[in-house]
Structure 1
Amino acid sequence: MRAIALLLTLLPFLPAFADEPRKRVIVCSTTQIADFTRQIVGDRCVVKCILAPGADPHTYMPTPGDAEIAATADLCLENGLHLEGKNWMATLAKDRGKPIGTCTEGLAPLELEAGGQKIHDPHAWFSPANAAKYVNNIVAALSKLDPAGIGEFEARAKLYLQQLRTLDAWIKEQFNAILPEKRILVTSHDAFNYFCRDYGFKSAAPVGWSTGNEVGAGMTPERRKAVVDSIRSFGVKAVFVETSVNPKMVEELASEAGVAVGGQLYSDSMGGPGTAGETYIGMMRENVLTIVRALK
């Protein structure tokens, strides 16, 4: 009798459990896109990321486990502009019949020379103004998936967009400590062109836009000499390694040019949990502080 009485007591609550909606799953290619998405959805959706912190999207090869993650998605999100080498994220989504949103859609990309051809630079998130466009594209994709959540998505995005504007103003203030003629950023690969454009830096890198052709023999003798000559002629104080790229090449360049390695910059990936770069804003702030310490 006690068991029956307990069951009758619980009955009014059972429909609430049964009717609780399943949270939609958003699967992102990169750590930056995953962070943008989490800022927008809060706890309304589950956000998963294919790449681990420190992984390189240019050279990444999806695993069977990644295909299983993609299979759980209600929506996939990619950077686009061929950041994901051989378009691996689009392939994962297509193979599982999942819709995919491209975060760089509608953005005016910079052009780079690669093998005698002009290509679009995919590292657009390094401009906070472009990061805002990522956010707006993500909001649009989420709103199609979950129209009932539009108000929540837009409200969260509005707050985050203000944080991005604050970040941009803070970066400009920090770089006042570096003379314009000393704003030369030498990194492992050509990932910082949008950043350099926004903040008045010149960029020099031993390899091009993708690390995919860097591994092994991507740096030609001509390009190496050009970078070393630039370091010497501009009086560059320090060069920088990247968290997602083997540091050996830049360390060798620094030794040859007689300059210091100024620190490690987050580039194609954010940092892991508990690090200064575990969010997009944290990553950008840490990069700026590292650059200022080395070049001021």
Structure 2
Amino acid sequence: MFTRRYAISLFLAILLPTTLFAQEKRQVIVCSTTQVADFARQVVGDRMEVKCILAAGQDPHLYEKKPGDAQLVSTADLCLENGWHLEGNDWMNKLATQTGRPIVTCVEGCQPLQVPGIEQAMHDPHVWFSCTNAAIYVRNIRDAVIKLDPEHADEYRSRAGLYLDQLRTLHSWIVREINNIPVEQRVLVTSHDAFNYFCHAYGMQSATPVGWSTGDEVGAGITPQRRQETIDSIRDHKVKAIFVETSVNPTMVREIAREAGVKIGGELYSDSMGGPDTAGETYIGMMRENVITIVQALK
């Protein structure tokens, strides 16, 4: 009995440090937004640890760096950002630069839509709302992690391939669902210009009282003219409903709804996904719930 207990104890003594060491050696990816973090998890599985600076419901345009953010980024083997100034004042890029960590901009390779700026047109950063563009994010992340960990390249390619198949299925499903809305009713009115890529990809028109950013960057801020244009558009198109966003204060949209005489059709995930245990806690779940909300309100 003593010999058996001794053998078990010796085995555990050898195994436990080995297990802890393996856990400690997992490479770390730090992401700026919840969407980017979800894409990264789909590619790396449990092979790497994925952390995200933004929490569910937080607005990347308005986010202000916290004292612990630099410490978190300094632990990263790789940083991932959306890019095109979605992260207000480029806070993620600055954190990576300050801590000397490598960073990949996930929108690279996407075809940008332009939005008005103060001096010149700017790239609209809400690129992930097209499933085709989301696939580009995934490929960029796949290539970056293969470069970081070439030993497990086949594993990353395999996960990415399955997820890309899921995105193609999601794209086809969205097309079918949007076709349930009469063409003249396919007008999407939201808090800010987060849905231009969605509308462009799926045959809708976008109308919003503010620019692409909810903060103070180029293109942000409501004007009386833009507000009236939005109300006129709602009335001209006989829009049945308009929508609030999970990461944007809903007060303005509710006021416009009352003035235009339309209902609030529901809440859409925009610059951030949903929290744990919600239907929108993944990219696919977020897109699915948005489409169901839009179709049910407008058809």
Same fold (TM over 0.5): yes
Match of 2:262 among 259, 264, 272: 259
Question: Matches of 2:205 and 2:8 in 1, distance apart?
Answer: 72
Question: Matches of 2:19 and 2:203 in 1, distance apart?
Answer: 56
Question: Matches of 2:294 and 2:156 in 1, distance apart?
Answer: 34
Matched, 1:103 2:106: yes
- Alpha-carbon deviation of 1:265? 0.4
C-alpha deviations, 1:233-253, integer Å up to 9, x for none?
A: 110111000000000000000
Amino acid of the residue matched to residue 115 of structure 2?
Answer: L
Q: 1:227 — aligned with what? A: 230
Q: 1:29 — aligned with what? A: 32
Matched, 1:68 2:63: no
Q: 1:178 — aligned with what? A: 181
C-alpha deviations, 1:159-197, integer Å up to 9, x for none?
A: 000000000011111112101111000000001000000
Q: 1:20 — aligned with what? A: 22
Match of 2:295 among 284, 292, 296: 292
- Alpha-carbon deviation of 1:20? 3.2
- Alpha-carbon deviation of 1:71? 1.4
Q: 1:122 — aligned with what? A: 125
- Alpha-carbon deviation of 1:122? 0.2
TM superposition outliers: structure 1 runs of 4+ over 6 Å: 1-7
Q: 2:274 — aligned with what? A: 271
Counterparts of residues 75-224 of structure 1 (less than 5 Å): 75-213=78-216, 218-224=221-227
- Alpha-carbon deviation of 1:114? 1.9
Matched, 1:40 2:43: yes
- Alpha-carbon deviation of 1:213? 3.2
C-alpha deviations, 1:192-225, integer Å up to 9, x for none?
A: 00000011101000000000139xx921110011
Q: 2:62 — aligned with what? A: 59
- Alpha-carbon deviation of 1:4? 7.3
Question: Matches of 2:21 and 2:277 in 1, distance apart?
Answer: 36
Root-mean-square deviation (Å): 2.0
Amino acid of the residue matched to residue 169 of structure 2?
Answer: T
Number of aligned residues = 294
Amino acid of the residue matched to residue 118 of structure 2?
Answer: G
Question: Matches of 1:256 and 1:269 in 2, distance apart?
Answer: 28
Question: Matches of 2:230 and 2:51 in 1, distance apart?
Answer: 39
Q: TM-score, normalised by structure 2?
A: 0.93
Cα gap change, 1:258 to 1:145, in 2 (>3 Å): same
Match of 2:247 among 234, 244, 247: 244
Cα gap change, 1:59 to 1:12, in 2 (>3 Å): closer
C-alpha deviations, 1:74-132, integer Å up to 9, x for none?
A: 11000011100111001111111100011011211111112252000000000000000
Percent of aligned pairs with the same amino acid: 63
Amino acid of the residue matched to residue 138 of structure 1?
Answer: I
Amino acid of the residue matched to residue 282 of structure 1?
Answer: G
Amino acid of the residue matched to residue 151 of structure 1?
Answer: D
Amino acid of the residue matched to residue 292 of structure 1?
Answer: V
C-alpha deviations, 1:252-275, integer Å up to 9, x for none?
A: 000010000111000000000111
- Alpha-carbon deviation of 1:11? 7.1
